[in-house]
Amino acid sequence: MITQRFEELVKTIAYKKGMPNQRFVFVPHPVAGRSPELCHRYMEGNDPVTKKPIVEEFLAALTKPLNPEDKKTGFLQRPPRPRLIEPDTAENLQRLFAKNGWTDGIPIVLPTEERVAMMMKSTSRKPDEIVGTMRPSPPHEAWEFTVEMVAANAVMAGAKPEYIPVILALASTGVTSLFSSTTSFARMVVVNGPIQEQISMNSGLGAMGPFNEANATIGRAWTLISKNLGGGGTPGETYLGSQGNNLNYNNICFAEREDALPSGWNPLHVQKGHKAGESYVSTFTGWSLINYGGFALPHHQFIKRMLTGLLASGTGSGSQATLLLDPITARDLRNDEGFDTKEKLSDWLMKNGTSPAQQYWARHSDELKKGKEGIEPFASWLKYPEEAFIPVSSFRPETPIEIIVVGGETNAFLMAGDFRYVSGASVDKWR
């Protein structure tokens, strides 16, 4: 039984899982949070897809005899995948790519054999080498792709050949930028190491804005790869974000400002156990960012409030936080507020964080049970009103609050977002 809104999704999943004739009964959407009376009326009504009574549809699904197609074993043939698209004019090909959902809605650079070959000159890997697999979310099938396929999408994004090691590394993580969930996820890409300078990435003024070819096209390539090589990005089937997320166009792609890190603050990839001289690409998942100008000091107290605000808004619940600090803010935190490493700031924020009471109890069933049994401090916290704050952070204790330095030092700004680190890959391995 499924709600009507997910008809395309479940039929697609059933087909890909090998049961194309799986029987479904559909009910109106949504059902969560609806009153028992309304649900009762739904049950006594018609299936909104078949227009037949729901109760009879259940009976048919359970008792209607199977036909020979339902009992079939073996393999289903997938459509063949030609290496080349049938030749046509550039204008018609642009139309074809857009119509088939192979773009992000913006015109692409057509991936001719010459352009793709040129793109692959900046990697030592062979065109037919498998880079990895990618899927829109765990229930979906994973698609496999080669170096040449990644290069074709890099060309489409407008990337220069020298960017291809970063794009291959990004693709090799197997992380999609278009995660299929109703909650409209965003992703973030952070590049560290010598490759930043080698391909002229922007880590300074306007690094997250539309001012740099490498930042722009590497981020865009990830979305095209997620659609075309990761089998995702078809609304209703492999993408369910109810409102969508504008950040998916470029996935907040930038380089960390390593030259402006305060003394004792390590670059992100070094924090993750890699050598400073290694080039590395990291991926993050989350939903949104909020902005703050640090005109009032100290910064760490305001950051603490921002993070509580993220939790109170509901967006940070169940996730983690990531801070994007302008170098001025980072230096203030280091020199004036005593955080001589990123880790110390991260730990302080976790230890001193607060959570809205209502959300804390919703996410901490063991502690709720202890509180009801009179065990302190939970018993006292249970007496707090719902709108009060519990002196514990609700961010995931198993992963740190991430801190990245980026920006052009025009002011003491920072952004905080409900992002968490997902995974990364060595760029050097794809040179």
Judged by beta carbon, residue 29 or residue 344, the one nearer other proteins is 29
Judged by beta carbon, residue 113 or residue 259, the one nearer other proteins is 113
Judged by beta carbon, residue 129 or residue 144, the one nearer other proteins is 144
Closest contact distance (angstroms) between CB of 407 and other proteins is 34
Judged by beta carbon, residue 226 or residue 271, the one nearer other proteins is 226
Judged by beta carbon, residue 74 or residue 105, the one nearer other proteins is 74
SS in 3 state form for 113-173? HHHHHHHHCCCCCCCCCEEEEECCCCCCCCEEEEHHHHHHHHHHHCCCHHHHHHHHHHHHC
Closest contact distance (angstroms) between CB of 266 and other proteins is 34
Judged by beta carbon, residue 30 or residue 209, the one nearer other proteins is 30
In angstroms, what CA-CA distances link 254 with 18, 163, 189, 428?
Answer: 41, 13, 6, 18
Judged by beta carbon, residue 53 or residue 309, the one nearer other proteins is 53
Closest contact distance (angstroms) between CB of 127 and other proteins is 10
Query: What size, in residues, is the chain?
Result: 431
Closest contact distance (angstroms) between CB of 17 and other proteins is 7
C-alpha closest to that of 326 among 407, 415, 254: 407
Closest contact distance (angstroms) between CB of 93 and other proteins is 6
Q: Is residue 358 classed exposed, middle or buried when 0-12, 13-18 and 19+ CB atoms within 10 A define those classes?
A: middle
Closest contact distance (angstroms) between CB of 227 and other proteins is 9
List, in order, residues 6 or more apart from 11 with CB less than 8 Å away. Answer: 24
d(CA 240, CA 245): 11
Provide the token pair at 3.
């709600």
Taking the alpha carbons at both ends of the chain, their separation in whole angstroms is 49
Closest contact distance (angstroms) between CB of 78 and other proteins is 5
Largest CA distance in the chain: 76
